[in-house]
């Protein structure tokens, strides 16, 4: 609305005819200043839209650093975020001159920072932060970042992270306009980051950091719909940890949780980025292998099974041996199955592995329906 109004002023014949007078009395400069202000606000609104369209944490952070690069370059920039599913541990993403670098700082727990920012929720200088928090054990770990500014990331549940800005590499002092921009974009980023975190909580299992059952079913349905169009085959691997109840009874449920997490890590490191691994429920896992044949699916199942068999799982100094059983089903463009049928066949193959004595992999065949 304001932009259209200014355009109308600039194209008005009376304004053009009296340009010199308007310039002399300062009105024209006010119009130009207002135009610049409207243009800047329009650009900020465009950035808000793009910011909220970022689908991942890394995508969001990359977008933020790119926007800063257009205005100023901090010597260091660090995002200190609560690690999802841990309660107090932190995930730190560091930049030097807005280029991603290895983590430069060590922070054991985010809890004391959360307690501080519960009553200090705005952008502040690092000197203010260090003086107010009055605890060198909390401020000194940030010194490698050459810190100049600190800002918390606030959500409905309180502080879930904070950002540290190092001094600028040119004109070390941040201008008033730059401080206003940092305050504005980081408040928007707080909302977007929290939305991203809530989404991750909805699709990621907290104990294993694999996808949830619900998300897996959705992806399975999507991939099955692609088979006919793109002539791709896929396989479903279903795994179940052998004697998991006995493991919990012998070592405790925390040990069982540790085994679940470690097994999940083995799954993730032995499949392709295009494949999908999820916790299906309890001690059951599923893997969706995209664009593969039966031999490849069996090979991956056996690779995962053997890696787990060979590994010594550790908890509080105790070494725990674990095995896993696998069932494999397969579908192709010639015989596209529903997700229910594909899961049923993997389940039958898994129980066939259990009947064989566990710690083995079985590829579904029609004979299993008769057993």
pLDDT digits (tens, 9 = 90+) for 291-336: 999 999 999 999 999 999 999 998 888 899 999 999 999 998 888 8
If you search the block for the tokens 């619900």, which residue do you land on? 214
Question: Residue 1 has what pLDDT?
Answer: 42
In a shared domain, residues 345 and 226 = yes
In a shared domain, residues 235 and 302 = yes
In a shared domain, residues 78 and 109 = yes
Query: Do residues 278 and 339 make contact, with C-beta atoms less than 8 angstroms apart?
Result: no
**Of residues 311 and 195, more confidently modeled:** 311
- DSSP annotation string for 6-47: HHHHHT-HHHHHTHHHHHHTTHHHHHHHHHHHHHHHHHHHHH
In a shared domain, residues 226 and 159 = no
CA separation for the pair 65, 81 (Å, rounded) = 16
Q: Is the whole model's pTM more than 0.85, yes or no?
A: no
pLDDT digits (tens, 9 = 90+) for 222-243: 898 888 777 789 999 999 999 9
In the chain, the number of structural domains is 3
CATH number, position 195: 3.30.450.40
Question: Residue 137 has what pLDDT?
Answer: 93
Q: State which of 156, 185, 203 marks the end of a domain.
A: 203
In a shared domain, residues 149 and 64 = yes
CA separation for the pair 271, 253 (Å, rounded) = 27
**Of residues 194 and 272, more confidently modeled:** 272
pLDDT digits (tens, 9 = 90+) for 115-127: 898 888 889 999 9
Domain range for 251: 213-370
In a domain, 208, yes or no: no
In a shared domain, residues 67 and 27 = no
In a shared domain, residues 234 and 198 = no
- DSSP annotation string for 293-309: -HHHHHHHHHHHHHHHH
In a shared domain, residues 353 and 343 = yes
Report the pLDDT averaged over residues 253-275: 93
pLDDT digits (tens, 9 = 90+) for 131-167: 999 999 999 999 999 999 999 888 766 787 899 999 9
Question: Residue 2 has what pLDDT?
Answer: 47
In a shared domain, residues 290 and 351 = yes
CA separation for the pair 257, 238 (Å, rounded) = 19
- DSSP annotation string for 111-180: HHHHHHHTS--S-EEHHHHHHHH--HHHHGGGGGG-EEEEEEEEETTEEEEEEEEEPBSSSSSPPHHHHH
In a shared domain, residues 246 and 283 = yes
């Amino acid at each position: 609305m304001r932009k259209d109004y200014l355009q109308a002023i600039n194209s008005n014949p009376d304004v053009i005819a009296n340009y010199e007078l308007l310039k002399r009395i300062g009105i024209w400069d006010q119009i130009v200043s207002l135009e610049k202000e409207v243009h800047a606000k329009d650009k900020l609104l465009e950035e808000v839209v793009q910011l909220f369209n970022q689908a991942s944490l890394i995508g969001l952070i990359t977008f933020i650093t790119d926007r800063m690069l257009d205005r100023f370059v901090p010597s260091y920039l660090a995002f200190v975020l609560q690690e999802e599913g841990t309660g107090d541990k932190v995930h730190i993403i560091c930049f030097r001159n807005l280029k991603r670098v290895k983590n430069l700082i060590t922070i054991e727990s985010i809890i004391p920072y959360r307690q501080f920012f519960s009553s200090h929720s705005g952008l502040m200088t690092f000197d203010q932060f260090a003086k107010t928090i009055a605890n060198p054990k909390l401020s000194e770990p940030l010194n490698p970042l050459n810190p100049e500014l600190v800002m918390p990331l606030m959500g409905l549940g309180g502080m879930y992270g904070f950002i540290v800005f190092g001094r600028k590499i040119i004109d070390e002092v941040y201008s008033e306009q730059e401080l206003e921009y940092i305050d504005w974009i980081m408040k928007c980023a707080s909302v977007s980051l929290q939305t991203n975190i809530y989404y991750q909580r909805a699709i990621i299992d907290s104990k294993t950091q694999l996808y949830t059952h619900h998300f897996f079913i959705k992806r399975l349905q999507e991939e099955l719909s692609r088979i006919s169009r793109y002539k791709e085959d896929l396989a479903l691997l279903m795994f179940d940890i052998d004697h998991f109840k006995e493991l919990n009874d012998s070592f405790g449920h925390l040990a069982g949780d540790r085994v679940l997490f470690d097994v999940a890590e083995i799954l993730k490191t032995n499949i392709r980025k295009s494949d999908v691994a999820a916790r299906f429920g309890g001690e059951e896992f599923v893997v969706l292998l995209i664009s593969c044949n039966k031999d490849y699916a069996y090979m991956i199942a056996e690779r995962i099974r053997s890696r787990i068999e060979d590994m010594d799982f550790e908890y509080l100094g105790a070494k725990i041996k674990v095995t896993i059983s696998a069932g494999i089903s397969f579908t192709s463009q010639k015989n596209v199955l529903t997700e229910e049928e594909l899961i049923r066949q993997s389940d039958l193959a898994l129980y066939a592995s259990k009947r064989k004595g566990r710690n083995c992999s079985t590829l579904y065949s029609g004979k299993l329906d008769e057993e």
